[in-house]
Structure 1
């Protein structure tokens, strides 16, 4: 279903003196605001996967978070906090005059979406938590399980490199590449928007907040946990998770059990962390059904 569409509008928004670039598709009466993963990734991969929803009557908005894409790229590591990104998201929403939005957060964007919904509940009409988690320590235990499937010898090798800080060693990178193809995107060739985002990854925010790769969390979010707070989210919630996702179905279930009754989960078969590319038929119809149900 996805296809690349030129944005109808491009906006430059000042956020605490820094320039953030936002993209708008369509003129629908209700807005889907997309928060992409990373941290440090341009929004291309998520923007191109959801701009097509303009054909279903929605205004679709995405933006390059500070430090990424066409937005400014300051080097002050103190900027890379989830609280600052929550404030940035609110600044973008207000600057574009969006009103309450359907908020879709993917991966790191889901952590951001959760904190945003808890901070600005009146700004969120519905919440789509795609391939994300609400409990980082629990995720770390799940990642250990996924790594364990590589075998004891490979796990020992990875742990030795992690202890030494030799993350760029070829044998360590080979293990990470295998995990990426199992649990990030299972397609033999990754879509152009994904490769575009990955090739322009700003590792400053990523390493500060998360760590050196998708399977080692040692950044300032390593202890982040919103499970005790999820009961305060009153907006309708759709949780999406790939069957083989690095942010696993167990993480999705943990969110569902902590949310108020009514939250639903779509487990997308034959997909991992990029279900909108890996299995569009399993991703888009449930998303559109949910948006139709919660739209005014």
Structure 2
């Protein structure tokens, strides 16, 4: 199933027709772009992995994976008209009103069935075998205070496993580091990609 998401992403890159791409993914998106690299490494110029995982199974202790699956089941058990996807620990502190608005807009299009599929895939995925095979420059961009994918638990093992990885930690940011620290986030991604174009 994860391979289907990767195939869709590959089709977009191929359709644009500009050659290998700088491919970024945050959280779930990072798991998808790792799967893209597994099946289509020729389409990837660089990887930008943001507050993500080598799958939950590949990055988290089994008890934490079980707790997240149980939390997701509770979230998904509400009636469809009351469904509002939320995850604890997305922000380092109290989010700004603009961040809350943006997250609400993004969440409005989430469907319970799609969320169930995504979370099931995350719980079962283990990309640890792939990491040493990655040969493209890889930026690991992390919020310092990310409690969903903590720097020491998740980012540092990725740094140790991916041969050409660089870790940049954004001070004061949480799991949604792109929203909490947009200026340093954008500057870091831009500099990394331009230096490798």
Q: CA offsets per residue over residues 212-256 of structure 1, 9 Å max, x none?
A: xxxxxxx24423111122111111000011112211212111111
1:142 Cα deviation after fit: 9.0
Question: Are 1:88 and 2:8 an aligned pair?
Answer: yes
Q: Tell me if the contact between 2:30 and 2:49 (Cα under 8 Å) persists in the aligned partners.
A: yes
User: How is 1:104-115 mapped onto 2 (pairs within 5 angstroms)?
Assistant: 104-115=24-35
Paired position in structure 2 for 1:184? 90
Q: Tell me if the contact between 2:26 and 2:50 (Cα under 8 Å) persists in the aligned partners.
A: yes
Paired position in structure 1 for 2:149? 247
How many residues of Structure 1 are paired with residues of Structure 2 in the alignment? Answer: 182
After superposition, the Cα gap between the structure-2 partners of 1:188 and 1:229, relative to the gap in structure 1 and judged at 3 Å, is same
Give, in whole Å, the separation in 2 of the partners of 1:221 and 1:166.
17
User: How is 1:79-228 mapped onto 2 (pairs within 5 angstroms)?
Assistant: 81-137=1-57, 139-141=59-61, 144=64, 162=70, 166-167=74-75, 180=88, 183-185=89-91, 186=93, 187-189=95-97, 190-210=99-119, 219-228=120-129
Give, in whole Å, the separation in 2 of the partners of 1:221 and 1:278.
24
1:198 Cα deviation after fit: 0.8
Q: CA offsets per residue over residues 232-286 of structure 1, 9 Å max, x none?
A: 11110000111122112121111111111x3111111111111122122432222
Give, in whole Å, the separation in 2 of the partners of 1:142 and 1:274.
24
Q: Secondary structure at the match of 2:107?
A: helix
After superposition, the Cα gap between the structure-2 partners of 1:139 and 1:221, relative to the gap in structure 1 and judged at 3 Å, is same
Richer in helix (by share): 2
Q: For structure 1, which runs of at least 5 residues remain unmatched after alignment?
A: 1-80, 146-157, 170-175, 211-218
After superposition, the Cα gap between the structure-2 partners of 1:281 and 1:94, relative to the gap in structure 1 and judged at 3 Å, is closer
Q: Secondary structure at the match of 2:130?
A: helix
Q: TM-score, normalised by structure 2?
A: 0.80
Q: Tell me if the contact between 1:142 and 1:248 (Cα under 8 Å) persists in the aligned partners.
A: no
Give, in whole Å, the separation in 2 of the partners of 1:231 and 1:138.
13
User: How is 1:256-267 mapped onto 2 (pairs within 5 angstroms)?
Assistant: 256-260=159-163, 262-267=164-169
Single out whichever of 231-240 and 192-201 deviates more from structure 2: 192-201
After superposition, the Cα gap between the structure-2 partners of 1:97 and 1:138, relative to the gap in structure 1 and judged at 3 Å, is closer
Give, in whole Å, the separation in 1 of the partners of 2:191 and 2:182.
14
1:139 Cα deviation after fit: 4.0
Q: Tell me if the contact between 1:243 and 1:269 (Cα under 8 Å) persists in the aligned partners.
A: yes
User: How is 1:19-34 mapped onto 2 (pairs within 5 angstroms)?
Assistant: none
1:293 Cα deviation after fit: 1.4
RMSD: 2.7
Richer in strand (by share): 1
Give, in whole Å, the separation in 2 of the partners of 1:292 and 1:118.
24
Q: TM-score, normalised by structure 1?
A: 0.55
Bigger Rg, which one: 1
Larger relative contact order, structure 1 or 2 (CA cutoff 8 Å, min sep 6)? 2
Q: Secondary structure at the match of 2:129?
A: helix
